[in-house]
A = this chain, B = another copy of it.
């Protein structure tokens, strides 16, 4: 608890995003079922409400809700998935780069047999990385393998455009030839580079030693790369410029790191922060405490509740909440910082996917107003003193808590 007596923690805020935390009551929601004395004590001593990340009833993706929470309106700032994935994978993008989410797939000719190449393991996938970094005409292709079959592709060069179609059909079927959207020279050039890369990748992968090894083991080979989520990168004003604050991100999942890097947060890699159900919460909290020393806002992302929701595992989600309460919330309470806890969307176990239901939010801060809500869950927080807020309200609320707002007017 090095920071518990740290005066600098005053006027700082920890934003805890419990991914997919919101749920529906088959009987009760996981938040209602879980024993979570620390979350409940913060609710009791703070002020609560419900938040619709992108508006009532709207079903958010994870990238969009985070970007909106950080104060970046989607209409103006949402760059598309490829850019956020590439930033999350640690690629330093330059203005004009065109980025894609990539999948390793198993092809038979141009027929996709397995969209994930048998969910190839990360190490095997990594062994293909080198040969997929190449130059196509005058376009540099940067390939980065991330987790299992997942990766990113970035095209870098003069006169590129994101106005082209994906090669990934998003389902089984034929690999798609990328086509320009509209007739610009830039779109034609980019689609052409994508198609050349796709063909070259097939040739190079087909006889790669790792695939020959997999054939021998009767495993699906990774002989194709599917591209989707095309988007172009353009540097935007960071949180320091726009809001006058320093911010750090502590997350396991690459997408969250990508959004954080996009808005100029310091992204701290934590050993053991996996973005999975067995993530090392102790390690993450320790880094949050460190980051508090020299950042106004520390964003802590915990993924697992969302994964349990996608699996329809009510019990698992409930137990995960209890683990978070014990290992993350208890020590954070002692930090001396303001604490805001919410989710990026609901992932009801009964739906096994995202939903448009509001997420509970709690704001805990010295001298803050207090309501009489005593529990942190979807139903109790309906009566909270914050009322119903949206994702657009979150950054102004955070800035106001730590007295970093710029006055509007005089």
B60 with A407: CB separation less than 8 A: yes
Please name all residues of chain B whose beta carbon is closer than 8 Å to the beta carbon of A145 when the two chains form the complex: none
B387 with A379: CB separation less than 8 A: no
Q: Hey, which bits of chain A sit against chain B, CB under 8 A?
A: 24-26, 50, 54-65, 74, 78, 81, 229, 348, 350-351, 354-357, 367-371, 378-379, 382-383, 385-389, 392-400, 403, 405-410
User: Chain B's nearest CB lies how many Å from the CB of A170?
Assistant: 12
A385 with B382: CB separation less than 8 A: yes
Docked CA distance A215–B288 (Å): 58
Nearest-neighbor residue (CB-CB) of A379 within chain B = B369
The 4 A-B pairs at the shortest CB distance, nearest first, are namely A61-B409, A64-B409, A57-B396, A356-B400
User: How many copies of this chain does one complex carry?
Assistant: 2
B398 with A57: CB separation less than 8 A: yes
B369 with A378: CB separation less than 8 A: yes
Please name all residues of chain B whose beta carbon is closer than 8 Å to the beta carbon of A370 when the two chains form the complex: 25, 379
Nearest-neighbor residue (CB-CB) of A29 within chain B = B369
Please name all residues of chain B whose beta carbon is closer than 8 Å to the beta carbon of A393 when the two chains form the complex: 55-57
Please name all residues of chain B whose beta carbon is closer than 8 Å to the beta carbon of A399 when the two chains form the complex: 57, 356
- Which of B229, B357, B369 is A410 in contact with, Cβ under 8 Å? B229
Please name all residues of chain B whose beta carbon is closer than 8 Å to the beta carbon of A406 when the two chains form the complex: 59
Docked CA distance A403–B355 (Å): 8
A355 with B61: CB separation less than 8 A: no
A356 with B397: CB separation less than 8 A: yes
Best-buried of A24, A57, A387 by chain B (most CB within 10 Å): A57
Docked CA distance A54–B405 (Å): 13
A367 with B350: CB separation less than 8 A: yes
CB<8 Å pairs between A and B, sample of 13 = A25-B369, A26-B367, A56-B386, A56-B396, A57-B393, A57-B405, A59-B407, A65-B409, A81-B409, A229-B410, A356-B399, A371-B379, A387-B387
B356 with A61: CB separation less than 8 A: no
Given contacts A57-B398, A59-B407, A64-B408, list 14 more A-B pairs with CB under 8 A: A24-B369, A25-B369, A56-B386, A57-B405, A59-B405, A59-B408, A60-B408, A61-B408, A81-B410, A356-B397, A356-B405, A369-B378, A382-B385, A388-B388
User: Chain B's nearest CB lies how many Å from the CB of A409?
Assistant: 3
Known: A56-B397, A387-B388, A400-B355. A410 touches B371 (CB 8 A): no
Please name all residues of chain B whose beta carbon is closer than 8 Å to the beta carbon of A54 when the two chains form the complex: 408
Please name all residues of chain B whose beta carbon is closer than 8 Å to the beta carbon of A368 when the two chains form the complex: 24
